[in-house]
Amino acid sequence: MTDIIQKVKNLSIGFRSKKGEEILILKNISTNIKKGETVGIVGESGSGKSTLALAMMGYVKHGLYTIEGECQFNSSNLLKMKSKDLEKIRGRKIAMIPQNAGQALTPNLKIGYQIDEALQLHSDLNEKEREKKISELLNKVRLPSPETIALRYPHELSGGQQQRVAVAMALAGTPDLLLLDEPTTGLDVTTQAHVLELLNFIAKDTGTSMVYVSHDLGAIAQVSDRIIVMYSGEIVLEGPSRDILKRPIHPYTHGLLKSIPKLSLAGLPESMPGSQPQPGTIQSGCSFFDRCNFSDENCKNNSPKLEFLKDLNTSVRCFNYEKLVNESQASQTVNKIKNKSQDKEILNLSEVSISYAKQKLLDQIFNRISDDNPTVKDININIKKGETIALVGESGSGKSTILKSIAGLLRTKDGLIRFDENRNLSSDLKERDPNDLRIIQLIFQNPDESLNPNHTVEEIIAQPLKLYFGLKGEELKKNIVDLLQKVRLGEFYTSRYPRQLSGGEKQRVAVARAFAAKPDIILCDEVTSALDVSVQAAVLNLLQQLKEDFGTTYIFVSHDLAVVRAISDRVAVLYQGRLCEVGPSNDVYKFPSHPYTEVLLGAVLEPDPDIKPKLVAEDIVEERPPEKGCSFQGRCSRIVGDICKKEIPPWQLTDSGNAIRCHIPIKELQKEQF
């Protein structure tokens, strides 16, 4: 009897390039998953973590093939097994939960029916037993009133609920091993924390082993007993979770942990230079050499082996790990941001309301918008020249909606948008003159969507230069190259297409395009959310550098509170399109006074085993804002009673100039901190 449930032995997986070379995605991976343990596999996109997880259930993606090695489950090699035999294992013994559970559910079948299907397939229960089991499973994943959930369709559930259903379905066959591939990526902070807590509970309750794959060390830290760090298809570090997070003895992990913004630290984290080599890049030495701060000549020519250190119970692939053994991770340094924000107002939103409601004919004729309960309501913000103000809130809180109106892409229902103290900007593009359009530029979340795939980098950056300044010929080229250099891209990028660039490089091009217009204000909508952690810090640092050089004002939208903490001077917290709290970042983060701010901050996942998320409110998703009273009444754990449901709470000011909208008096709010 052994307590090893899955044994990966010398596994190499790869593909053949067009030229016929063998290109490795996984290079000689060996590891064991023990009974009842949760192993986190972390790495940036392209490091091979998903390929490894899939191989653990005997699946090799189309186009790839096993070059060497095996994945043993119950002492048989899954990679050599016949598909008939595999079917008996998948779902029953090994189950997988994909990233986007919503897409994995069949849209036109009721949840209960789909779980029943899984039960029929993976268990030997009869109808009566299955009926009971469905309720049991839904109870186990803590869905409110399982009976009603079972009768609903997937689209009637929120993202978090869909993910819970996926967990329930995976548990249908009582598997011994549960593989989770980025199960919480794309979910809201609060939902994420809840799902992770559920997974922890299930691991303890059922004793199922889990393999948790993610790019997010914060999430991994919350669930894993052991962590495997992958880089460029290799395991570079493996050991007990706490040790890896507290004392990362591989330079990559060390740098990664340093580049993650922390809630407790204002200012920008250090960034890691460069990016992961593409598969197939020929290397004579260590694959991390280009980016390593601890490298020497030896690393350049010899590749390190994975070495097991008995006294640390850790395996590491590095010649110079000793240099790191004594260094503690806590010595994180940050680049303090120095914004010369002036007192001069650059943008003022007053009483702005925005509605998506379909307008009735009469309203269309009179060109007005009527909606008593608009998506966004009564936004008042005064933005100073040169500052970075952040809008935070869960998805659907109206952050992007507000940005769209500022950019003139969405008509407001009421309110004024005033630029530079005296100029009213229409929220309708057609009524803005070219200069009004130039002064406000946008950067989007996903550069794959925001850059035209058929345009070269040169053509992309040329657009605003031609449009606003009429540049041509040599002068245009010179400006393009200048801009590229400003975003730290060389001039040889001009002729590349977006698909030939890495995620970070693409986002730099988008940044260059925004700055090409010489704007006063740049609206950043989740600009780092689609990037790898190691790249995120670099982009944040770049944005900060550029704004210091140009005196630009940023309106920075993000759901990631740690990122917001790092870059912003001021924060506005939104719930259901209504402001809850506005104030200097330091104050908002130090005195999380509004109950919703408290919820958001409590849910942040830090890559630290000692900081656990605090789940204050239920993870309910509200469809629309309440008609009356406080916008947060539906989820507030500190609700004081009827007054919250009837009256809109007043703005209250703290001594430091933080404005909070709640019926609970400031003094009391601050007393009850956790």
Partner 1 sequence: MKLDNIYKEEKKSAVAKLSEIIITMASRPSGLIGLSILIFHIILAFISPYIAPHDFKAIDPTLMLQAPSAEYWFGTDDLGRDVFTRTILGGRTALTITFFGSLIALLWGGLLGIFCGLVGGKIDDVVMRIVDAFLSIPWILAMLLIVSLLGTSTEVLIPALGFFYGKGIVRVARAATHDVIAKDFIVSAKARGHSNFSIIWNEIIPNVRDAILVEGAMRWSWMLLGFSSLSFLGFGVSPPTPDWGLMISNARGLMSFAYWAVIAPIVGLSSLIIGINLTADAFAKALGIDRSTKAPV
Residue ranges binding ligand ADP (CB under 6 A): 356, 375, 393, 395-401
Cβ distance to ligand ADP smaller for residue 377 or 486: 377
Cβ distance to Mg ion smaller for residue 178 or 403: 403
Residues 459-478 that bind partner 1 (CB under 8 A): 463-464, 467-468, 477
Contact characters 349-378, partner 1, x per CB under 8 A = ------------------------------
Least CB distance from residue 454 to partner 1, whole Å? 4
Cβ distance to ligand ADP smaller for residue 170 or 604: 604
Q: Does 434 participate in binding partner 1 (rule CB under 8 A)?
A: yes
From 19-27, 146-154, 441-449, 617-625, give the range in contact with partner 1 by CB under 8 A: 441-449
In the list ligand SF4, ligand ADP, Mg ion, none, the entry touching 401 (Cβ below 5 to 8 angstroms by class) is ligand ADP
Which of 21, 322, 428, 449: binder of partner 1 (CB under 8 A)?
449
Label residue 110 exposed, middle or buried (CB < 10 Å: 0-12, 13-18, 19+). Answer: middle
Structure tokens at 542: 């770049």
> Across the beta sheet with 578-584, what order do the strands follow?
440-443, 521-525, 553-558, 388-392, 570-575, 578-584, 659-661, 651-653
Q: Does 400 participate in binding Mg ion (rule CB under 5 A)?
A: yes
In the list ligand SF4, partner 1, ligand ADP, none, the entry touching 636 (Cβ below 5 to 8 angstroms by class) is ligand SF4
Cβ distance to partner 1 smaller for residue 44 or 525: 525
Residues 573-612 that bind ligand SF4 (CB under 6 A): 595
* Residues paired with residue 558 on neighbouring β-strands, in sequence order: 392
Q: What DSSP line would sit under 455-517, residue for residue?
A: S-HHHHHHHHHHHHH---HHHHHHHHHHHHHHTT--GGGTT--GGGS-HHHHHHHHHHHHHHT
| Residues making up the chain, counted from first to last | 674
Cβ distance to ligand SF4 smaller for residue 351 or 668: 668
Least CB distance from residue 405 to partner 1, whole Å? 11
Q: What is the DSSP letter of 304?
A: P
Least CB distance from residue 405 to ligand SF4, whole Å? 25
From 179-187, 358-366, 439-447, 552-560, give the range in contact with partner 1 by CB under 8 A: 439-447
Least CB distance from residue 409 to partner 1, whole Å? 6
Q: Does 512 participate in binding partner 1 (rule CB under 8 A)?
A: no
Label residue 631 exposed, middle or buried (CB < 10 Å: 0-12, 13-18, 19+). Answer: buried
Q: Does 495 participate in binding partner 1 (rule CB under 8 A)?
A: yes
CA distance 95 to 513: 45
Q: Does 292 participate in binding ligand SF4 (rule CB under 6 A)?
A: yes
Task: Report whether 236 contacts 317 (CB < 8 A).
Answer: yes
Using DSSP, state whether 84 is helix, strand or coil: helix
From 283-291, 335-343, 349-357, 609-617, give the range in contact with ligand SF4 by CB under 6 A: 283-291
In the list partner 1, Mg ion, ligand SF4, none, the entry touching 219 (Cβ below 5 to 8 angstroms by class) is none
Task: Report whether 79 contacts 70 (CB < 8 A).
Answer: yes
CA distance 6 to 57: 9
Cβ distance to partner 1 smaller for residue 184 or 450: 450
**CB-CB neighbours of 145 under 10 Å:** 9
In the list partner 1, ligand ADP, Mg ion, none, the entry touching 455 (Cβ below 5 to 8 angstroms by class) is partner 1
CA distance 183 to 98: 6
In 3D, which of 442, 443, 554, 438 has the Cα closest to residue 507? Answer: 443
The footprint of ligand SF4 on this chain (CB under 6 A) covers a number of residues equal to: 25
> Which residue matches tokens 């407001």?
412
CA distance 289 to 266: 30
Least CB distance from residue 396 to ligand ADP, whole Å? 4
Q: Does 120 participate in binding partner 1 (rule CB under 8 A)?
A: no
Q: 499: Cβ–Cβ under 8 A, 6 or more apart, which residues? A: 453
In the list ligand ADP, partner 1, ligand SF4, none, the entry touching 537 (Cβ below 5 to 8 angstroms by class) is none
Cβ distance to ligand ADP smaller for residue 227 or 406: 406
Q: Which uninterrupted H or E stretch holds 230?
A: strand 226-231
CA distances from 80 to 33, 55, 58, 76 (A): 19, 11, 8, 9
CA distance 620 to 157: 10
Q: Does 451 participate in binding partner 1 (rule CB under 8 A)?
A: yes
Q: What is the DSSP letter of 90?
A: B
Using DSSP, state whether 553 is helix, strand or coil: strand
Cβ distance to partner 1 smaller for residue 490 or 650: 490
Q: Does 99 participate in binding Mg ion (rule CB under 5 A)?
A: no
Q: Is the CA virtual torsion 215, 218, 222, 226 positive or negative?
A: positive
In 3D, which of 51, 33, 10, 30 has the Cα closest to residue 315? Answer: 30
Cβ distance to partner 1 smaller for residue 475 or 668: 475
In the list ligand ADP, ligand SF4, partner 1, none, the entry touching 318 (Cβ below 5 to 8 angstroms by class) is ligand SF4
In 3D, which of 392, 422, 427, 386 has the Cα closest to residue 406? Answer: 427
Least CB distance from residue 464 to partner 1, whole Å? 6
From 237-245, 490-498, 527-535, 587-595, give the range in contact with partner 1 by CB under 8 A: 490-498
Least CB distance from residue 67 to Mg ion, whole Å? 42
Contact characters 126-155, ligand SF4, x per CB under 6 A = ------------------------------
Least CB distance from residue 558 to ligand ADP, whole Å? 10
Which of 453, 473, 641, 650: binder of partner 1 (CB under 8 A)?
453
CA-CA-CA-CA dihedral for 113, 116, 117, 123, to nearest 10: 180
CA distance 115 to 137: 9
**CB-CB neighbours of 119 under 10 Å:** 21
Least CB distance from residue 288 to ligand SF4, whole Å? 4
CA distance 294 to 443: 35
Q: Does 304 participate in binding ligand SF4 (rule CB under 6 A)?
A: yes
What is the amino acid identity at position 643? I
CA distance 325 to 251: 11
Cβ distance to Mg ion smaller for residue 181 or 394: 394
* Residues paired with residue 97 on neighbouring β-strands, in sequence order: 180
Cβ distance to ligand ADP smaller for residue 162 or 400: 400
Cβ distance to ligand ADP smaller for residue 272 or 376: 376
Instruction: Pick left, alpha or beta for residue 46 (phi over 0 → left; psi -120 to 50 → alpha; otherwise beta).
Output: left
* Chain residues that interact with ligand SF4, rule: CB under 6 A: 251, 286, 288-289, 292, 294-295, 299, 304, 318-320, 595, 630, 632-633, 636, 638-640, 644, 649, 662-664
Residues that bind partner 1 (CB under 8 A): 407-409, 429, 432, 434, 437-438, 440-442, 444-446, 449-456, 458, 463-464, 467-468, 477, 481, 491-492, 494-496, 513, 517
